[in-house]
C-alpha cells in the first residue's frame, strides 16, 4: 500500500455527551442531550430526581480520561477529536460569566493530551446545547442565540488559545433538517420555515465563530462539520439523476454557505417555492462572508434516490433514510457499507470547494463479544476500516487534500441515535451494557493492535 503523508492526522473522535457522564457535576447545566435519554429519536422528557439515563454516567470519561488518553497514545494517536459541553461552560446558556470548574476540566483534559503530543480537534457544539436556551428563548429560532453562542465561543477560544489550534463549529450542521430538537432546539413538528430560520441563525453564529477564532488565535484553523450524506441515483433516468442532485444539495447547501459565504441560488429558489420568507439582515450577509479554513465530515454509508414511488423503500440510517442500494451489504444496524463512496465523496468535496478535507467520523457500529480471556475478536471492524482507508489512500492519489482521519468512537461510547452502548465502535471495549450494568473496565480489542500498526506504518499494512 502507498503510505499516507507523514503529517497525516491519525486518531479518533468522541463527543462530550456520549462519553463524559458526570451530567450534574461541577456546575454543569442541563443539556438537550440530557433530556433525550433514548437518543436523538427518542422523546424529550422532563428529568426528575432518581430517574436514569445511560448517558448520565456514559463511559465515565469525565473521571477516567487519563486512562483513556494513555490508551489512545498507546495506539499512536496524533489527534483526538473531542467536544466541549456548552453546559459545563455556560450552564443555562445566558450567563455573563463562565463556570470556572467547567473550564478547568477541559484544561486538565487538554493538558493530558499535550503530555502525549496528541493534537486536539475541538467541536464547539456536538449534538447538545443548554436546555435553558431552549426553555427561555425557544432555541435557535431566536436570534439572541447568536450572541449567546458568541460569548461561549469567544470564552473557549480565549481560554484554550495556546492549547487548541484545530476547531470545528457545529457537528453535522445539516442534520437539523432531520432532527430539529438536537440540532437547533426546536420541536420535531416545527414548520420548515421555522427550521430554516433557526438554521440561518446557526450558520451566522458559525461564521461569527470562524471570525472570532481567526482574531483570537491567528495560527489556528477552524472548519465546519457536515454529515456526508452521499446519494446515488437508483437509475440513469434523467429524473432520478436530477432528484439526486437536489438531494445532495440539501446537505451540500450548508457547505456552500460555510465555504462560499452566501446562500446559493438553488436554495433561494427552494425557499421561494415553499413560500418561506427568512429574516436575513444585511449584517447577516456580511457575517456569512467569513468562510471556514477546512471542511470536515462524517461518513458511514451512502444511499440512493429514486423518483419511482413503488421503489421508494427506505433503508435505515441514524439520521437519514435512504433507498437501498442493491449492490451494497448492510451493517447490523442496516447502514449500507460503501467504502468507494468515501473516495467519491472526498473527490466531490475537493472538486467543489478546493479546501482541505478532514474525515472526522467513520467506523462500524457492531455487537462485540468479550471473551472469557478478556479478548475481543472484531475482524469485521478491521475489514470495514481497512476498506475505507484504502479508498482514502486512493483519494490522496487522486490529488485530494486530506488532512486526517479520526475514526468514530475509538473507545465504546453511547450511540447518538438510540442511546445504546451495545452498538460499539471502539478499538477499546468498555464493560457496560444497555441496562447500565458493568464495571466500566477497558479492554483492548483485536482492532486496537491493528489500528496501532496502521498508524505506525503510515497505512503500509492496509490490504488493497
Ligand atoms: C454521527 C454523530 O451522526 O454518527 C455521532 O456525529 C454519532 O454523534 C455517530 O454517534 C454514529 O451514530 P450512532 O447513532 O450509531 O451513535
Are 255 and 353 contacting, i.e. CB atoms less than 8 angstroms apart? Answer: yes
Q: Is residue 3 part of a domain?
A: no
Q: Is residue 1 part of a domain?
A: no
Look at residue 442 and tell me whether its pLDDT is greater than 90: yes
For the stretch 181-217, pLDDT in tens is 999 999 999 999 999 999 999 999 999 999 999 999 9
361 is catalytic: yes
Ligand 1 in reach of 365 Cβ (< 6 A): yes
Nearest CA to ligand 1 atom 7: 416
Q: Is residue 462 part of a domain?
A: no
Average pLDDT over residues 71-88: 98
pLDDT (0 to 100) of residue 311: 79
pLDDT (0 to 100) of residue 323: 87
Distance 285 CA to ligand 1 centre (A): 31
Confidence of residue 316 (pLDDT cuts 50, 70, 90): low
Average pLDDT over residues 84-99: 98
Look at residue 313 and tell me whether its pLDDT is greater than 70: no
Which domain range does residue 111 map to?
9-457
Q: Is residue 98 part of a domain?
A: yes
Please tell me the total count of domains within the chain. Answer: 1
CATH of the domain at 172: 3.20.20.80
Distance 206 CA to ligand 1 centre (A): 21
pLDDT (0 to 100) of residue 308: 87
Look at residue 312 and tell me whether its pLDDT is greater than 80: no
Quote the Cα angle for 391-395-399, to 5°.
Answer: 165
Give the residue among 447, 345, 459 at the shortest CA–CA distance from 71: 447
Average pLDDT over residues 52-65: 97
Q: Is residue 332 part of a domain?
A: yes
pLDDT (0 to 100) of residue 2: 67
Ligand 1 in reach of 423 Cβ (< 6 A): yes
Ligand 1 in reach of 426 Cβ (< 6 A): no
Look at residue 368 and tell me whether its pLDDT is greater than 60: yes
Question: pTM above 0.75?
Answer: yes
SS (H, E, C) 362-426: CCCCECCCCCCCCCCCCHHHHHHHHHHHHHHHHHHHCCCCEEEEEEECCECCCCCCCCCCCCECC
Give, to the nearest 10 degrees, the angle between helix 61-75 and helix 446-456: 50
Tell me the C-alpha to C-alpha distance, in Å, between residue 88 and each of 84, 100, 339, 457: 8, 9, 37, 39
Average pLDDT over residues 135-152: 98
Average pLDDT over residues 164-171: 98
Average pLDDT over residues 39-52: 94
Q: Is residue 464 part of a domain?
A: no
Look up residue 272 and give its three cell numbers: 421561494
Percentage of the chain with pLDDT > 90? 95
Q: What is the atom index within ligand 1 of the atom nearest the CA of 175?
A: 3
Q: Is residue 2 part of a domain?
A: no
For the stretch 384-421, pLDDT in tens is 999 999 999 999 999 999 999 999 999 999 999 999 99
Give the list of residues 6+ apart from residue 340 with CB closer than 8 angstroms, or none: 391
Q: Is residue 397 part of a domain?
A: yes
Ligand 1 in reach of 451 Cβ (< 6 A): no
Give the list of residues 6+ apart from residue 290 with CB closer than 8 angstroms, or none: 207, 208, 210, 211, 214, 261
Ligand 1 in reach of 416 Cβ (< 6 A): yes
Write down the catalytic residue from 112, 172, 290, 361. Answer: 361
d(CA 248, CA 345): 11
Lowest mean pLDDT among 68-72, 103-107, 128-132, 330-334: 330-334
For the stretch 299-310, pLDDT in tens is 999 999 998 887
For the stretch 1-34, pLDDT in tens is 667 999 999 999 999 999 999 999 999 999 999 9
Distance 433 CA to ligand 1 centre (A): 18
Give the list of residues 6+ apart from residue 165 with CB closer than 8 angstroms, or none: 119, 217, 219, 220, 221
Amino acid at each position: 500500500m502507498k503510505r499516507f503523508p507523514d503529517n497525516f492526522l491519525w486518531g479518533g473522535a468522541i463527543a462530550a455527551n456520549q462519553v463524559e457522564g458526570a451530567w450534574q457535576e461541577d456546575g454543569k447545566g442541563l443539556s438537550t442531550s440530557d433530556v433525550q435519554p433514548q437518543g436523538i429519536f427518542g422523546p424529550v422528557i422532563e428529568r426528575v430526581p432518581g430517574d436514569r439515563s445511560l448517558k448520565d454516567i456514559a463511559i465515565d470519561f469525565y473521571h477516567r480520561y487519563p486512562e483513556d488518553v494513555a490508551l489512545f497514545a498507546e495506539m499512536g494517536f496524533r489527534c483526538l477529536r473531542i467536544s466541549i459541553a456548552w453546559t459545563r461552560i455556560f450552564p443555562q446558556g445566558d450567563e455573563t460569566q463562565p463556570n470556572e470548574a467547567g473550564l478547568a476540566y477541559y484544561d486538565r483534559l487538554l493538558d493530558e493530551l499535550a503530555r502525549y503530543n496528541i493534537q486536539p480537534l475541538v467541536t464547539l457544539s456536538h449534538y447538545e446545547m443548554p436546555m435553558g436556551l431552549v426553555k427561555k428563548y425557544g432555541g435557535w429560532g431566536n436570534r439572541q442565540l447568536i450572541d449567546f453562542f458568541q460569548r461561549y465561543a469567544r470564552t473557549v477560544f480565549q481560554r484554550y488559545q495556546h492549547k487548541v489550534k484545530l476547531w470545528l463549529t457545529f457537528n453535522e450542521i445539516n442534520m437539523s433538517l432531520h432532527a430539529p430538537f438536537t440540532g437547533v432546539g426546536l420541536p420535531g413538528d416545527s414548520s420548515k420555515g421555522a427550521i430554516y430560520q433557526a438554521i440561518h441563525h446557526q450558520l451566522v453564529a458559525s461564521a461569527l465563530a470562524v471570525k472570532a477564532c481567526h482574531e483570537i488565535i491567528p495560527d489556528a484553523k477552524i472548519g465546519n462539520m457536515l454529515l456526508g450524506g452521499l446519494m446515488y441515483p437508483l437509475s440513469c433516468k434523467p429524473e432520478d439523476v436530477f432528484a439526486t442532485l437536489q438531494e445532495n444539495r440539501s446537505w451540500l447547501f450548508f457547505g456552500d454557505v460555510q465555504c462560499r459565504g452566501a446562500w446559493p441560488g438553488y436554495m433561494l429558489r427552494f425557499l421561494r417555492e415553499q413560500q418561506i420568507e427568512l429574516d436575513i439582515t444585511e449584517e447577516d450577509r456580511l457575517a456569512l462572508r467569513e468562510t471556514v479554513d477546512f471542511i470536515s465530515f462524517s461518513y458511514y454509508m451512502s444511499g440512493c434516490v429514486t423518483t419511482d414511488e413503488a421503489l421508494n423503500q427506505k433503508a435505515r440510517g441514524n439520521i437519514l433514510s435512504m433507498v437501498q442500494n442493491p449492490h451494497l451489504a448492510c451493517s447490523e444496524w442496516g447502514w449500507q457499507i460503501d467504502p468507494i463512496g468515501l473516495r467519491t465523496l472526498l473527490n466531490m468535496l475537493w472538486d467543489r470547494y478546493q479546501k482541505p478535507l478532514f474525515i472526522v467520523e467513520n467506523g462500524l457500529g457492531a455487537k462485540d463479544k468479550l471473551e472469557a480471556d478478556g479478548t475481543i475478536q472484531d475482524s469485521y471492524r478491521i475489514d470495514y476500516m481497512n476498506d475505507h482507508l484504502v479508498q482514502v489512500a486512493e483519494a490522496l492519489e487522486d490529488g485530494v487534500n486530506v488532512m486526517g482521519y479520526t475514526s468514530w468512537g475509538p473507545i465504546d461510547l453511547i450511540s447518538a441515535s438510540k442511546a445504546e452502548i451495545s452498538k460499539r465502535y471502539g478499538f477499546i471495549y468498555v464493560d457496560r451494557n444497555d441496562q447500565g450494568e458493568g464495571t466500566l473496565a477497558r479492554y483492548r480489542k483485536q482492532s486496537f493492535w491493528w489500528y496501532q500498526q496502521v498508524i505506525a506504518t503510515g497505512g503500509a499494512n492496509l490490504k488493497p
